[in-house]
Chain A
Amino acid sequence: MAEGPTPLERFIQGILPENPVYRQLLGMCPTLAVTNGLKPALTMAAAVAFVLFCANVMISLLRNLLQPHLRIVIFTLTIATFVTIADRFLAAYVYQMSKALGPYIPLIIVNCIIIGRCEVCASKQSVVTAGADAIGQSLGFALALASLAAVREILGTGMLFGIQVLPAAWPDWGVMVLPPGAFLTFGLLLGIANWLSTRKSGNR
């Protein structure tokens, strides 16, 4: 087999250079929907990490048996199975959070990040590389969700994790925790990320 990227390379790539949210613009539905607070955002990131890791490892183990024309079906069914496990687990142990996240947990099935990673990485590389790739990508995803959620929660309620961080006189920007705030915050953060990366490459 040709020299593929090493596990460590794949791991680092996922966090910033190929960040699934800011760089590849994948998985935007949960990114926008669950980032009205840091806690639901981190729960979501954990669920995605679990599904991504399990699906990547499973597909990587199956990669020699995959038929090209059936691969997408196999990917989706594998992912759907793991999402069911994650969903039942959340409903059993953190019921309130599972209620709050509602349909967005099952919607992980159609999250492009996971299908994309299965297609690009796991169906071609060894188990260790695929696992490292999954961990890197999910860390990148968690980082993106956390940054978005932190901005929205601080500006929207003046709190972080339920602890007051801004002075009590802060007039809560209610719109930030409502749907429009998600679009505005993500648009601005994405623009800033683009600006920073072009400035960096310009200096080089």
Chain B
Amino acid sequence: MTDIVLIALGAALINNFVLYYFVGICPFIGVSRRVEMAFGMGCAVTFVISIAALLSWTITVFVLKPGAPLTTYLAGFFMSSKDAANVDLTILCYTVYIFAIASSVQFVEMYVRKFYPPLYKSFGVYLPLITTNCAILFACLTIMSHVVGVDNPADTWDLGRSMTLAVFGGIGFTIAIVIMAGIREELQLCDIPKAFRGAPIALIVAGILALAFMGFTGVNNGLRKALTPAPVTVQTASMNAEAAKTN
């Protein structure tokens, strides 16, 4: 439970996708002129990021990582079972993820257009743009780095933790882009030097926002201390033992 809270807060506020990791800057600058548009974009990204995280976690655990069940089973037809358990397909992960994201976005778009026309009208137009949004791929890669090559089995992310990262990362993106759009609506009333109109002033505003979000770093440290007293450590230790047993 503790790490779920930490992951959620970390993704949404402390290490905000846009203002800390710089992913998803293109829509952040491009679609942040009006608040409703920004909110639509944010919802669409949250939606797609959740689907992509679900897909990438499933693919990584069942197909790509060393000793994944599906790969081991299929490889068992061609080689001894000992070799089959060592087949490692992680090198394919980038190609597989980008393909999964692109095709799922395509399917979601078709589905939404057919069955929920009002929803399609409100955010469907942003869907194709999202395929090349780095935030989606970034979430998949973060999940992968916590699933593959983790020494301690208890630290390996399960589906719950992965989905928490994705959903709250999307919410963090929405928060950032809506704040940005609010500021930019006011900026239209300002007398900005000609050379700085448009993207330059938006970037400077984003810099000031990022400064404000840096304040959450302190929250992270305090929260970690507050949420991990002695009893929790004992509990995690017993959980570790359990996980080791099941492995």
Contact = CB atoms under 8 A, between A and B. Distances in A.
B134 to A, nearest CB: 5
Interface SS of chain A = helix
B223 interface: no
A32 interface: yes
Contacts of B22: 28-29, 32-33, 179, 182
A195 B195 CA distance: 5
A107 interface: yes
A192 B94 CA distance: 37
Interface stretch (B79-87, B183-191, B206-214, B237-245): B206-214
B200 A107 contact: no
Interface residues of B, number: 42
A175 B210 CA distance: 11
Contacts of A83: 94
A33 B211 contact: no
B62 to A, nearest CB: 21
A180 B137 CA distance: 23
Given A28-B29, A77-B98, A107 B196 contact: no
A184 B201 CA distance: 9
Which size bracket describes the interface of A in this complex? 35 or more
B214 A180 contact: yes
Given A77-B99, A190-B200, A179 B210 contact: yes
Interface in B1-60: 19-26, 29
Interface string A28-57: 110011000000000000000000000000
Contacts of A179: 19-20, 22, 210, 214
Contact of A106 (B21, B137, B207): B137
Interface of A: 25, 28-29, 32-33, 72-73, 76-77, 80-81, 83-84, 87-88, 103, 106-107, 109-112, 115, 175, 178-184, 186-188, 190-192, 194-195, 198
Interface of B: 19-26, 29, 91-92, 94-95, 98-99, 102, 131-134, 136-138, 141-142, 145, 193-196, 199-204, 206-208, 210-211, 214
Given A72-B102, A178-B214, 11 more contacts: A77-B98, A77-B99, A103-B138, A106-B137, A112-B26, A180-B214, A183-B203, A184-B204, A184-B208, A191-B193, A195-B194
